[in-house]
Structure 1
Amino acid sequence: MKKSSILMIFGALLLLGLFKFPLWNITLGAPQYPDPLGMNIYIDGIEGVEEFDIQNIDGVNHYIGMKKIPKAEEMWEFTIFPQVITGMVILGVLIGILGFFGKVSYKWFLGWFVLMSVLGIMGMYDFNAWLLDYGTDLDPKAILKLTDADGNPLSYKPPLLGTAHILNFTAHSYPRLGGYGLALGMLFTLIAYFVGRKEAKTLKK
């Protein structure tokens, strides 16, 4: 089961890219901003794509009563997520090593993949909940109070994934290099499961 175990270890190690590269990116474009404003979301904080992007986004948001972009210490997720990723990398590598020496079966590879998938779904749910709060919990004393046709306050929630129009801004929300590395790593561990299953069937013959 050596080939599948190596794939498992490699897949788990790809998650380490999340400590270097952004997981997600949200970009805001508008006629008054020919160079779109953007923020990169890492597992341990949020940074502007350019030096003053966060400051400019906060300035625009202030007029409609949106909160400032949170600092790392203001969100518990930015403390927990690095710990979760570290734990999953260690667990994945350990499973791969044990599989290499025949101590665990290839089914453990699938177990890791399922657990990581559940954690990923929970992370996306939490991210979407933050976006919803960020775009709807507005300061009632805001300078601009815009409402829809029924008189309800407008929602300025950026999309979880894809493109949306918010006032005169066009918001784009997509994974970045760290996110693609995470998906690729999970794909490798899933492939490891199928390769391991094939190896196990070959040994039985």
Structure 2
Amino acid sequence: MKNASLIMIIAPLLLLGLFAFPLWNIMLGAPQYPEPLGMNIHITGIKGVSEFDLQNIDGLNHYIGMKTIPKPGEMWEFNVFPKVIIGMVVLGVLIGLLGFFEKVSYKLFLGWFVLMSVLGVLGMYDFNEWLTDYGSNLDPHAIIKVTNLDGTPMTYKPPLFGNQEMLNFDVTSLPSIGAYMMFLGMTLTLVASYLGWKNGQDAEKQ
């Protein structure tokens, strides 16, 4: 159980990578931009991949009536998500320590994974809702109005995951380093849960 508990202590600490690295990345490529424009989505705010990327993206969005990219204080998520991550790190390490001293079973390791998975799904749902509002709730007085073939307003919602053609832009949305560190930490909690379960099975056979 001690090896499983040590892994459980280490695993949630990987979530701290979200404070150093972006969670998600959205890149926009077009013929008029030799270097693609990009946004890095952090849990504390949105930053440009290059110095003037956000300024250039906002400039393009203005013509089609999209909102400006929000500042950290303009979205409650950028205040709440860091607190949630810190809380999950503390909880995970505490569970691991209690497991090391055999105060709790491996089932709490699995419980942490389930809770983190639920929070992750809710976070992705919230992110997708923001993308939908960002790309669909357009200013009716915009300079450029583009419609679908049926006459309905075209949505400029970036994809949640993958690649999509939007007018003359090629948009790619993928997880970034912070997300991979989080996924690794969550996977390690499954490893810790399995080792804890196996340890219990072996103890019953003795």
The C-alpha deviation readout for 1:47-103, integer Å capped at 9, x for no partner, is 000000000000000000000000000000000000000000000000000000000
Question: What does residue range 30-69 of structure 1 map to in structure 2 within 5 Å?
Answer: 30-69=30-69
1:8 aligns with 2:8: yes
Structure 2, gaps ≥5 residues long:
none
1:142 aligns with 2:104: no
Partner residue of 1:19? 19
Give me the whole-angstrom Cα distance separating, in 1, the residues matched to 2:112 and 2:86: 14
Moved runs in structure 1, 4+ residues, more than 3 A? Answer: none
Partner residue of 1:153? 153
CA positional deviation for 1:129: 0.2
**What RMSD in Å do the two structures reach over aligned CA positions?**
0.5
Give me the whole-angstrom Cα distance separating, in 2, the residues matched to 1:102 and 1:8: 13
Structure 1, gaps ≥5 residues long:
none
The amino acid that maps onto 1:83 is: K
Give the TM-score normalised by the residue count of structure 2.
0.99
Give me the whole-angstrom Cα distance separating, in 2, the residues matched to 1:15 and 1:80: 15
Give me the whole-angstrom Cα distance separating, in 2, the residues matched to 1:4 and 1:202: 14
1:79 aligns with 2:79: yes
The C-alpha deviation readout for 1:149-193, integer Å capped at 9, x for no partner, is 111000100000000011100100001100000000000001100
Partner residue of 2:107? 107
Give the TM-score normalised by the residue count of structure 1.
0.99
Give me the whole-angstrom Cα distance separating, in 1, the residues matched to 2:35 and 2:86: 36
Aligned pair count reads 205
Give me the whole-angstrom Cα distance separating, in 2, the residues matched to 1:148 and 1:118: 36
